[in-house]
Amino acid sequence: MARPALKTSIPYFVSDGSVHFRLGGELTSLEDADGRVLTLLRLLDGTRDLDAVHRDLSADYPDVTAGDVRDAVRDLDESGLVQDATDRGEDFDAAARERWSNNLGFFETYATLETSKYEFQRRIRDARIAVLGVGGIGSHALIDLVAIGFTDIRIVDFDKIEVSNFNRQIIYGEPDVGRTKVHVAAERARRLNSGVRIEAVEAKLMSADDVYAVVHDRDIVIAVVDRPKVHVVHWLNEGCVRAGTTLINGGVDTQRAMHYTMVPGVSGCLECWYGQVRRDDPTSRMVLDALDDIDREGTPYGEDTAAFNGLVVAAAAHMVSEMVRLASRVCQPLSVGRLLEQTFHDPRVHEAESWRRDPDCTVCGDARPSAAHAWLARDARELPF
Ligand SMILES: [Zn+2]
């Protein structure tokens, strides 16, 4: 049975016969004419189950029933003010508790009687993830993911470090010029957390099979792979659908940053999306066909010499946050089946495109959600995909 505890991360004060809680600028007020609310709140210290709370509260307020206590605690839970103290996070040792203390404080604000703050951190710790491409966005994302508490990470890249990377790839330094990115990135990640398991794979992804080989045992991947420009997104899509791995794919396009998420068996995949575009939008069809030809023929198509750190950092932050939402289930993901974009001159994030699952899709038509993402399939009706 749950032992409800008032969250210490959400302070309250008493004024004008009410108890007021303040979280993120929002005020939640509870009327308390005779002090019974305040007495109840003080009893919610995580040492009592609901029966014990009722027993101790009814000593001072004999008219309070067990049903009253149950309803009041449910209301407090729905308002996000209580958590369950049963899960004491005993699988986190003293060093882990110190390292993640600020995360736990943050997750406590989202905790409920059903899901503890430790459970959110535990899901992050236990998720199997990958970062495909540790260049501009991927190198920022990797370090953020390690900082947040992901501990089982595969990184994949084939590139070597060049001076022209340093306007945005700040985990690398001048002594690293000429070295392979994955190995330097792994060293940097281990310096931040010596307990992280980083598997560095030096490889160029040139087919859906190549993608499958590096994602088949991963729950979620962040992909920031920009070569070959058009084909690689199809390979990422197919490899992840085949593996049942959720794909958070993104990049920067000069002044614009964008990302989307594909959950096999839950959302539409890239082919569902492009199929919809080809049917509905002749201009986009023309562009897709032209880029497809350029990619196939290997024709040079502009120089990759335009990228700016501010936009790269913002894109990484959005993709990392989406990884946290998906892995921890702390709240719903935002970019599933949607392309979200922002520009440097107007960094407000907005939906550029959205698409639905095509039941006849040749790539994902038969896909079923993996165990790690069955919860999204359950909640899919409330989501915009
Ligand atoms: Zn599809």
Give the Cα separation of 237 and 259 in Å (integer).
13
Mean of pLDDT values over 21-49: 93
Residue 106, in any domain of the structure: no
Q: Taking residues 1-11, report their average pLDDT.
A: 91
Would you say 189 and 142 are in contact if contact means Cβ atoms under 8 Å apart?
yes
What mean pLDDT is reported for the chain? Answer: 93
The residue segments making up the domain with residue 56 are 4-92
From ligand 1's centre to the CA of 329, what distance in Å?
24
Query: In angstroms, what is the span from residue 241 Cα to ligand 1's centroid?
Result: 8
How far is ligand 1, taken at its centre, from the CA of residue 235, in Å? 13
Total domains present in the chain: 2
pLDDT for 92-127, tens place per residue? 999 999 999 999 999 999 999 999 999 999 999 999
Q: What is residue 385's predicted lDDT score, i.e. its pLDDT?
A: 52
Answer yes or no: do 320 and 376 share one domain. yes
Q: Which two tokens stand for residue 309?
A: 């750190």
Going by pLDDT thresholds of 50, 70 and 90, the confidence category of residue 379 is low
User: What's the pLDDT at 324?
Assistant: 98
User: Is 104 within the bounds of a domain?
Assistant: no
Q: How long, in residues, is the chain?
A: 385
Does the pLDDT at position 211 exceed 80? yes
Residue % of the chain over a pLDDT of 70: 97
| 252 CB-near residues (< 8 Å, 6+ apart) | 136, 137, 258, 307, 308, 311, 312, 315
Could you tell me what percent of the chain has a pLDDT over 90? Answer: 82
310 touches 138 (CB < 8 A): no
Q: Which of 67, 92, 117 is the last residue of a domain?
A: 92
Q: From the CA of 53, how far away is ligand 1's center (Å)?
A: 52
| Burial group, residue 279, by CB count within 10 angstroms (0-12, 13-18, 19+) | exposed
Domain edge (last residue) among 38, 67, 92: 92
> Both 165 and 44 in a single domain?
no
Do 138 and 59 share a structural domain?
A: no
What is the tens place of the pLDDT at every residue in 50-107? Answer: 999 999 999 999 999 999 999 999 999 999 999 999 999 999 999 999 999 999 999 9
Distance (Å, whole) CA 239 – CA 256? 26
Task: Tell me the per-residue pLDDT of 282-324, one tens digit each, with 9 for 90 and over.
Answer: 998 898 888 888 877 777 776 677 889 999 999 999 999 999 9
Q: How far apart are CA 155 and CA 165, in angstroms?
A: 18
Same domain for 180 and 61?
Answer: no
Lowest mean pLDDT among 155-159, 205-209, 368-372: 368-372
Any domain includes 108: no
Judge whether 300 lies within some domain. yes
* CATH number (domain holding residue 61): 3.90.930
How far does residue 154's CA lie from ligand 1's centre (Å)?
26
**pTM, whole model, 2 decimals?**
0.93
Residue 269 CA to ligand 1 centre (angstroms)? 4
pLDDT of residue 376: 85
**Confidence (pLDDT) at 123:** 98
